[in-house]
Structure 1
């Protein structure tokens, strides 16, 4: 068998991104010649508002990207995290349109990349490829809707636990999340001192601990009990619309191209 065909058919040889690994071999073959993988550092800015979106980025492994909405007071508020379950840049708009938010690398690591034009050309040739990305766009919008509702009705403590659980699931690390107090405050849209007080209360309850630049999870069940159910709602929608892509152990064991 041709080595290139063998690689395309071998899902594990693809970049460690569940969306790319969910593609049928014939669909991935349309993308593979144009996909590159680069290491990207934490805090690297992928897009600013108004930038032309030229490249689609797929976080791989423990990498995370985040959408930040700038406000008139100078603060950025993070809306959603995107990890190895998805991609950022030109997903909903399907083409060359200006970015609305900042898209920043939250946790550094490998990112697969493909030019928007190459992806759109491949989607034009394959209805099944187009369908997969349409389904993912639906999941991304569901996550944004859920985040909006969460910010309106849930407590800071519930949202703190939710964000940490979401980061754990996307990175695959159940013991440590490389998140500073300042970064957590940005995620929550609150001041650093408020975020620090919430973490201190979780530490007092034996749920979390902290070290420089990281949050350590001591009691997984306790953390999940303190989280709202918004993350579970997002996972359920992913499983209904794009089964096997959201990074949970059970889902990944069922994932298969098709």
Structure 2
């Protein structure tokens, strides 16, 4: 198996494609490696590539304000992709995409993906469904940031990261987590101390350990579960024992009515 083929197996979105549909994309993939903190694309820059995080690579979409403060709007790992998923590429990015956890990735020129979507309905169906799920995650994050307390937002973010890693030990620093949540580190430290006293997490140097996932799910707001339900309904998401995404089983695209049937129906209305 080639290195590209192995990396395709490490991204659930690509893994969900049938072999004939993968073959439309595989020759054009470029393997790459990201370090933590690397910029995938910057706000305002044109996006010419679609990037697929593989294995344990995680990318965060950030909105940065003029005063330098930033907040997370979406976290994407091996379940998805970042870049011009919906557009034809070449459009300016509205967010900053930064590597949260380094590792391998595949990228492809946006025009190649658009061509595959044009000739293959399964490819078009899969990416349309994923784009809908990514938008749902962004919108839920906006609502959560506006309506829910920092404790709930913190738990949501930790579960979101765990879903993409499948490990109880999350390699994230308090400084990074504070930046994702858009709060001061000293304030976050107090929040984490409270969550630890409640037996939900353990805070270590450069890591946060999930101690009681079921208890966290009960203590958190509904936002994380709402996004997971949407992934279930739209992409047929399958989860492992730790909550990690393990597969997508998207339903087929609905069959479009034949043109003759549409014309016949329209004629019937005119009569």
Shared fold per TM-score greater than 0.5:
yes
Alignment of 1:20-169 (within 5 A): 20-169=14-163
Q: Give the conservation status (yes or no) of the 8 Å contact 2:235–2:248.
A: no
CA distances 1:208-237 after superposition (whole Å, capped 9, x unpaired): 112221111222222222211211111111
Aligned equivalents of 1:179 and 1:167: distance in 2?
9
Q: Tell me if structure 1 keeps the 8 A contact 2:11–2:79.
A: yes
- For the 8 Å contact 1:209–1:217, the answer to whether it is kept is yes
Aligned to 1:192: 185
> Where do 5+ consecutive residues of structure 2 fail to align?
253-271
**Cα offsets for 1:104-148 (capped at 9, x unmatched):** 110111111111121112112212211211111111111111111
2:228 to 212, 227, 235: 235
Counterpart of 2:264 in structure 1 is none
Q: 1:229 to 1:94 in 2, by over 3 A?
A: farther
User: Is the 2:172–2:207 Cα contact (8 Å) retained in structure 1?
Assistant: yes
Once the two structures are TM-superposed, the CA of residue 200 in structure 1 deviates from its matched residue by 0.6
Secondary structure of the 2:135 match is helix
Q: Could you say what secondary structure the match of 2:60 adopts?
A: strand
Q: Does the C-alpha gap of structure 1 residues 253 and 134 become closer, same or farther in structure 2, counting only changes over 3 Å?
A: closer
What CA RMSD, in Å, does the superposition of the two structures yield over aligned residues? Answer: 2.2
Q: Is the 8 A contact 2:47 2:90 kept in 1?
A: yes
CA apart distance, 1:50: 1.4
In structure 1, C-alpha distance between the alignment counterparts of 2:111 and 2:27, rounded to whole Å: 13
Select 2:170's aligned residue among 177, 183, 186.
Answer: 177
Task: Indicate which of 198, 202, 208 corresponds to 1:205.
Answer: 198
Residue ranges of structure 1 left out of the alignment (5+ in a row): none
Alignment TM-score, normalising by the size of structure 1: 0.89
